[in-house]
């Protein structure tokens, strides 16, 4: 028999060892799954993790890495603070959509004027939209004690319906021959979130994500707010004695993560996405949850995890081409990764001892 | 009987059909939560039930085998959650989310090539002339066997939790696992069984969507039904008869908004489609605003990990 012994402190080795172990285990289990589907597992794994970076078409795929990692990192950074403090915003997908809508609305209202201030105004509107959408569960939790998990999630479905309404109604392109969807912001210079360095995928949203990582790192490690977050998560009662205002924490975590998700949304719609359509959102808000955990809720970890997750997205596309793996496979793959991570986390917090048989 | 162009009898009958997936899932989740485990993976278990049941029914041509397979798929998912949270002591919230994300992905993968197929029809109970009665016929006697099964399960769960020794132990484990452990009750085993029961019911609920209500397979077809089931457990303050009430109210709203869409009411379709989610939020707010009462009804150890002290 084995016995679990709680470590007095989380093991530093295993804190960073488990994500690596989880990735390896996911490769093995994913390979088995692909083999069961009749696909060559080695070819599939290589197509996911190797080909996008070093394969024959890598020059096309490499810029996509930053394009996909940008929103994931930005959203996950916001979520990580709340997750540490036990405040669960799982509605980032909705905040992302609303941010994109608000920012795009500003751009479309200004169309066809050209002005340097339009882009900053869109970014602000996007952040504000996400912030307000995130403040709904925050307000309800603070004022009525309503569970923020369920409310934030329900609001995703509400946001998706708002998106569909906007794409078919108010934001529809008047010159779009009746098709749903807004004007393409890529063709509107003042509103276009163009690549800062052409051909790299590095647009303003990626820079914002990097800034979020740096600011997050400082906040978490060098600022009283980071201390309050840590205490609130590890010892809620002690936090109250330490002068942490729980309501304020809820508002900051939900509002802040909403604002970051909103930013991700507006950077996406004004850049790689281009236009508001029914199918504008592709689940970054949910994948970012995995990114946050895989990155150990640490800013630098999230940076790496975001890049890795972006790689699996692109890898999913190459695997579709190379071995005919269905697009859905990658979603299962990502879910599996989170499972393994949570399972191996036992090693971080507990020591496994062999039970001695009493003589 | 019609009201504003909507047939009331048919509305009630289709309300029961619309409510059944959520009723099944919420009843199961309530039992798991009564044992002190918060499984946020209901959506994932439901969608695996939906695809498992659909696949099995199409392969064998038997909807009954489909529903059995769906329950099995739900149990497997629930056991995965049980191993992670009860044996490996992972965070229940995070693990529940993982279960949902994994279920959505895996089901989409398994469902490749099953789109656009019609499943074998699920039989109505042969109640003969009773089903032809006016008003009562379509509402009480005109349903398939799963609707009656879901109602029977609500009664059974209520009786089991309130009147049996096993139910008492289950509630004790959810209220105070340390005391239950000290009295010699197998806390972890009770929780595993409660989770498995919840998984089976969530699986059945998912299969009801893909085999009866829709009936076909589309990716992500549960569309938040599992999350709504979780909300209904809160609404019901962990009582079986109120789960029934909540699920039927919700089914009513869903059907009503669909009928209004079909009747061409001058409200945008999207506004009508978001109504069920908005009303769920409203209900959650009202329940929590009533203050401590609703919270006192929640099992005391809900969501807390349990580590046996030797």
Tens-place pLDDT, residues A110-123:
888 888 899 999 99
Q: What is the largest CA-CA distance in chain A?
A: 86
Tens-place pLDDT, residues A163-175:
999 998 888 888 8
Mean pLDDT, range B283-293, rounded to an integer: 77
Residues of B whose CB is below 8 A from A333: 105
pLDDT, residue A224, reads 87
Mean pLDDT, range B229-256, rounded to an integer: 90
Closest partner residue to A326 (CB to CB) among B101, B109, B277 is: B109
For residue B5, name the pLDDT band (cuts at 50, 70, 90): low
Mean pLDDT of chain A: 88
Tokens 């986390």 sit at which residue? Answer: A345
* SS3 category, A98: helix
B172 CA: distance to closest CA in chain A (Å): 24
State whether A146 and A186 are in the same domain: yes
- Cβ-based neighbour number of residue B166 at 10 Å: 12
pLDDT, residue A291, reads 93
Quick check: B75 and B20 in contact, CB under 8 A? Answer: no
CB contact under 8 A, A4 and B89: yes
A199 CA: distance to closest CA in chain B (Å): 32
Please give the Cα distance from B15 to B286 (Å, whole number): 23
Q: Strand pairing partners for B6?
A: B3
State whether A272 and A295 are in the same domain: yes
pLDDT, residue B2, reads 63
Q: What is the DSSP string of A335-357?
A: HHHHHHHHHHTHHHHEEEEEPPP
Mean pLDDT, range A73-83, rounded to an integer: 95
Measured CA distances, B207 to A336, B64, B73 (Å): 23, 10, 10
Crossing angle (nearest 10°) for helices A246-270 and A148-168 = 30
The residue range of the domain holding A148 is 60-324
Q: What is the DSSP string of B185-206?
A: --HHHHHHHHHHHHHHHHHHHH
Tens-place pLDDT, residues A188-232:
888 888 888 887 888 899 999 999 999 999 998 888 888 888 888
Mean pLDDT, range A40-56, rounded to an integer: 86
For residue A10, name the pLDDT band (cuts at 50, 70, 90): confident
Q: Can you read off the two tokens belonging to residue B307?
A: 């580590």
Within 182-201 of B, beta carbons closer than 8 Å to A belong to: none
State whether A102 and A123 are in the same domain: yes
For residue B301, name the pLDDT band (cuts at 50, 70, 90): confident
Mean pLDDT, range A3-28, rounded to an integer: 82
pLDDT, residue B198, reads 96
State whether A1 and A70 are in the same domain: no
* Residue A51 lies inside a defined structural domain of this protein: no
State whether A172 and A88 are in the same domain: yes
Among A5-9, A24-28, A129-133, B183-187, the range of highest mean pLDDT: A129-133
* Residue A149 lies inside a defined structural domain of this protein: yes
For A4, list phi and psi in degrees, rounded to 5.
-100, 135
Identify which has the larger pLDDT, B141 or B112: B112
The string over A135-169, giving b where at least 16 C-beta atoms fall within 10 Å of a residue's C-beta and e elsewhere, is bbbbbbbbeebbbbbbbbbbbbbbbbbbbbbbbbe
- pLDDT of residue B296 exceeding 80: no
* Residue A50 lies inside a defined structural domain of this protein: no
Residue B41: name the closest of B90, B88, B87 by CA.
B90
State whether A279 and A208 are in the same domain: yes
Any CB–CB contact under 8 A between A187 and chain B? no
Within 228-267 of B, beta carbons closer than 8 Å to A belong to: 228, 230-231, 234
- H or E, element range at B7: strand B6-7
Quick check: A282 and A119 in contact, CB under 8 A? Answer: no
- What's the number of domains chain A is made of? 2
| Closest residue in chain A to residue B93, using alpha carbons only | A88
- pLDDT of residue A282 exceeding 80: yes
| Closest residue in chain A to residue B310, using alpha carbons only | A3
- Cβ-based neighbour number of residue B246 at 10 Å: 27
CB contact under 8 A, A328 and B84: no
State whether A141 and A268 are in the same domain: yes
CB contact under 8 A, A343 and B103: no
CB contact under 8 A, B109 and A343: no
Tens-place pLDDT, residues A308-338:
999 988 888 888 888 888 877 888 888 888 8
pTM of the model: 0.89
| Closest residue in chain B to residue A86, using alpha carbons only | B93
For residue A355, name the pLDDT band (cuts at 50, 70, 90): low
Identify which has the larger pLDDT, B217 or A243: B217
CB contact under 8 A, A289 and B97: yes
* Residue A49 lies inside a defined structural domain of this protein: no
Mean pLDDT, range A270-279, rounded to an integer: 87
Q: N- to C-terminal Cα distance for chain B? A: 66
CATH label of the domain that carries residue A125: 1.10.3470.10
Any CB–CB contact under 8 A between A90 and chain B? yes
Closest partner residue to A157 (CB to CB) among B90, B219, B224 is: B224
Tokens 């945008």 sit at which residue? Answer: B268
State whether A138 and A266 are in the same domain: yes
Within 282-301 of B, beta carbons closer than 8 Å to A belong to: 284-285, 288-289, 291, 295
State whether A35 and A145 are in the same domain: no
Instruction: Identify the CATH number of the domain defined by range B2-297.
Output: 1.10.3470
Mean pLDDT, range A23-33, rounded to an integer: 90
Mean pLDDT, range B133-141, rounded to an integer: 71
pLDDT, residue B69, reads 96
Quick check: A338 and A293 in contact, CB under 8 A? Answer: yes
- pLDDT of residue B70 exceeding 80: yes
Quick check: B39 and B198 in contact, CB under 8 A? Answer: yes
Measured CA distances, B200 to A39, B102, B104, B186, B297 (Å): 31, 17, 17, 21, 25
């Amino acid at each position: 028999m084995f016995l679990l012994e709680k470590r007095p402190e989380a093991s530093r080795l295993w804190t960073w060892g488990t994500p690596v172990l989880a990735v390896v285990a996911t490769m093995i289990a994913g390979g088995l799954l692909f083999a069961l589907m009749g696909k060559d597992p080695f070819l599939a794994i290589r197509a996911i993790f190797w080909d996008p970076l070093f394969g024959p078409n890598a020059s096309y795929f490499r810029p996509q890495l930053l394009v996909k990692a940008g929103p994931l990192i930005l959203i996950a950074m916001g979520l990580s603070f709340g997750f540490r403090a036990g405040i669960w915003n799982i509605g980032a997908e909705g905040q992302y959509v609303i941010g994109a809508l608000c920012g795009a609305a500003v751009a479309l209202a200004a169309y066809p004027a050209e002005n340097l201030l339009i882009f900053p105004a869109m970014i602000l509107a996007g952040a504000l939209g996400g912030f307000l959408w995130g403040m709904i569960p925050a307000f309800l939790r603070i004022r009525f004690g309503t569970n923020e998990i369920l409310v934030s999630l329900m609001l995703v479905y509400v946001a998706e319906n708002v998106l569909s309404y906007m794409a078919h109604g108010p934001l529809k392109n008047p010159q779009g021959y009746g098709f749903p969807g807004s004007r393409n912001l890529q063709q509107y210079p003042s509103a276009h979130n163009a690549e800062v360095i052409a051909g790299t995928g590095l647009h303003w949203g990626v820079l914002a994500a990097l800034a979020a990582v740096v600011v997050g790192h400082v906040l978490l490690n060098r600022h009283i707010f980071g201390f309050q977050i840590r205490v609130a998560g590890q010892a809620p009662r002690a936090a109250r004695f330490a002068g942490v205002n729980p309501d304020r924490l809820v508002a900051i975590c939900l509002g802040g993560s909403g604002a970051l998700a909103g930013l991700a949304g507006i950077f996406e719609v004004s850049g790689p996405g281009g236009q508001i359509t029914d199918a504008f959102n592709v689940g970054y808000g949910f994948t970012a949850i995995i990114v946050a955990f895989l990155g150990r809720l640490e800013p630098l970890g999230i940076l790496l995890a975001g890049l890795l997750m972006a790689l699996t997205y692109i890898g999913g596309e190459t695997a579709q081409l190379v071995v005919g793996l269905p697009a859905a496979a990658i979603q299962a793959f990502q879910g599996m990764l989170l499972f393994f991570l949570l399972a191996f986390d036992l090693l971080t917090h507990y020591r496994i001892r062999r039970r001695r048989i009493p003589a | 009987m019609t009201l504003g162009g909507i047939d009331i009898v048919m509305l009630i009958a289709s309300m029961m059909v619309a409510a059944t997936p959520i009723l099944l899932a919420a009843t199961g989740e309530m039992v798991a939560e009564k044992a002190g485990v918060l499984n946020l993976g209901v959506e994932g278990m439901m969608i695996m039930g939906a695809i498992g049941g659909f696949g099995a029914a199409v392969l064998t041509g038997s909807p009954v085998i489909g529903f059995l397979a769906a329950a099995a798929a739900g149990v497997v998912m629930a056991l995965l959650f049980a191993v992670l949270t009860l044996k490996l002591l992972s965070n229940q919230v995070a693990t529940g989310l993982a279960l949902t994300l994994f279920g959505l992905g895996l089901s989409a993968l398994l469902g490749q090539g099953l789109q656009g197929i019609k499943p074998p029809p699920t039989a109505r109970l042969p109640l003969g002339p009773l089903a032809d009665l006016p008003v009562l016929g379509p509402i009480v006697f005109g349903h398939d066997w799963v609707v009656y099964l879901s109602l029977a399960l609500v009664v059974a769960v209520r009786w089991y939790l309130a009147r049996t020794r096993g139910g008492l132990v289950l509630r004790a484990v959810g209220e105070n696992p340390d005391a239950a452990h000290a009295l010699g009750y197998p806390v972890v085993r009770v929780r595993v069984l409660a989770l498995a029961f919840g998984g089976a019911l969530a699986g059945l609920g998912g299969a009801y969507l893909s085999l009866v209500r829709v009936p076909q397979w589309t990716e992500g077809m549960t569309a938040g039904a599992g999350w709504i089931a979780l909300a209904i457990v809160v609404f019901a303050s962990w009582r079986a008869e109120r789960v029934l009430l909540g699920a039927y109210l919700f089914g009513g709203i869903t059907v009503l908004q669909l009928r209004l869409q079909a009747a061409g009411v001058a409200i945008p379709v999207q506004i009508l489609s978001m109504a069920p989610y908005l009303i769920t939020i409203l209900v959650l707010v009202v329940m929590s605003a009533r203050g401590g009462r609703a919270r006192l009804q929640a099992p005391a150890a809900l969501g807390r990990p349990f580590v046996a002290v030797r």
